[in-house]
Structure 1
Amino acid sequence: MKQALVVEDLAEVRDWLVGIAQSVFPGVEVTAVGRADAAMNCVASHPFDVALVDLGRPDGNGIDVVRLLHQKRSQCLAVVVPIYDDDEHLFPALQAGAFGYLLKDQRREALITQLLRIASGEPPLSPPIARRVLSFFGRSSAGLTPPRLQPASQVETVRLTEQETVVLQRVAKGYTLPEIAQQLGLSRYTIAEHVKHIYRKLDVSSRAEAALEAARRGLVS
């Protein structure tokens, strides 16, 4: 029986990823954890065949989990499942030994299809990520300066992406997560992930605190 590790601190998204792993690998035994330290303890004691790892951890960086999997369980298909396709997250994850980089910001069926392809040995990157990698090497071969590779933990923590800014604005206006998902044409899991990262970046823990930060940034009057 295959063993899978799911590392995701948001409970609803974690359950969603567990369901995906079970759909891709029928009969798989799934260990699901929300903290990086728990994940690393599991890696030391379980011969995982596949791992789905979110990068943003309250107690550390998911890249550390990927690195340990690469070192201790080299046969494991360690797949990073973030919502970000930027260079600052992508390349450190690949350097740490990630076998795949699949964005959560897509339909469940699409993610399942991509994981099935990874399991069968096909290229393990979401299409937007594959294009970014090709662009990276294109810049390098043309003599242009490629993006500086740095750990995700060194990325400026108070800078929000364009989509995060939109989500923060709607949170501050009182919309629920399902309402925001419908407005933006995204899944509720993706919106929940955005909110999780927004709260972590801004060091807030409630909608009221987020609304104050949105007002400070001029997003709401």
Structure 2
Amino acid sequence: MIRVLLADDQKLVRVGLRMLCESDPDVEVVAEAGDGQEAVRLAAERLPDVILMDLRMPGVDGITATERIMAARPSSRIVALTTFDDDDHLYPALAAGAFGFLVKDSPPSVLLAALRRAAAGEPPFSPPVLERLVRHAVRARQPRPGRAPEPAGLAGLSPRERDVLAMVGEGLSNRSIAERLHLGVSTVKTYVASLMRKTGTANRIRLAVLAARHCDTLAGETPGVNA
């Protein structure tokens, strides 16, 4: 059973999310919070497996609540709920420790699948959100003459690992990467897990942002050729 905490200041949204969650026999809504302060308290009391967190709430907002929950319980899996045009809150939520990102108008099947993925330890994200995070990371890079120094976390990566990392930075799924590189999906999963370990990134979203920030150091490899 996946235990879920819903945090959103709009009661109608919480009602809709609860009905959706309860349509799945493997999901149980253990608590609802109408603001960030209540979300922090209920997260500590009910110990949910997954927290669906609205980023825009009065008083203590979703970003601050995420930060406080992660400080108290770093293993928490908080999936941030965002609107399509809410770019200003995405990167702060990632920095606060959000485990995944979903747009609020995601289809019900996508949201339920995201809950299962989060509970299983695989960060869920809506592709448009990941694309916006990657664009933000690219814009945030400081312009330098020539090629930027390669971060220590990227040192020693094989050409194939660089190929995979660059494609993660493009927002491609494991299946798409596998098709491009003529690999099995399970092999790509192994590469991604290894890359997260070597670069010290907590999840795929952070790995994609890292790749976007240092895309110039990954350039020059030819997908499908390097071994």
TM-score normalised to the size of structure 2?
Answer: 0.55
Q: Which segment drifts farther, 112-121 or 69-78?
A: 112-121
Q: Counterparts of 1:21-60 in structure 2 under 5 Å?
A: 21-23=21-23, 26-60=26-60
**Residue 27 of structure 1: how far off its partner (Å):** 4.8
Q: Counterparts of 1:6-155 in structure 2 under 5 Å?
A: 6-23=6-23, 26-140=26-140, 143=143
CA 1:46–1:121 in 2, change beyond 3 Å: closer, same or farther?
closer
Q: Conserved in 1, the CA contact under 8 Å of 2:82 and 2:103? A: yes
2:77 aligned partner, one-letter code: L
Q: CA RMSD in A?
A: 2.5
**Residue 86 of structure 1: how far off its partner (Å):** 3.6
Deviations 1:135-193 (A, max 9, x none): 2333455839xxxxxxxxxxxxxxxxxxxxxxxxxxxxxxxxxxxxxxxxxxxxxxxxx
Q: For 2:71 and 2:125, how far apart are their aligned partners in 1?
A: 21
Identity %: 35
Q: For 1:78 and 1:97, how far apart are their aligned partners in 2?
A: 8
TM-score normalised to the size of structure 1?
Answer: 0.56
Alignment correspondent of 2:218: none
The runs of at least 4 aligned residues of structure 1 exceeding 6 Å deviation read none
CA 1:14–1:121 in 2, change beyond 3 Å: closer, same or farther?
same
The secondary structure found in structure 1 opposite 2:82 is coil
Structure 2: stretches of 5+ with no match in the other structure? 145-227
**Residue 47 of structure 1: how far off its partner (Å):** 1.8
- Aligned length, in residue pairs: 144
Structure 1: stretches of 5+ with no match in the other structure? 145-221
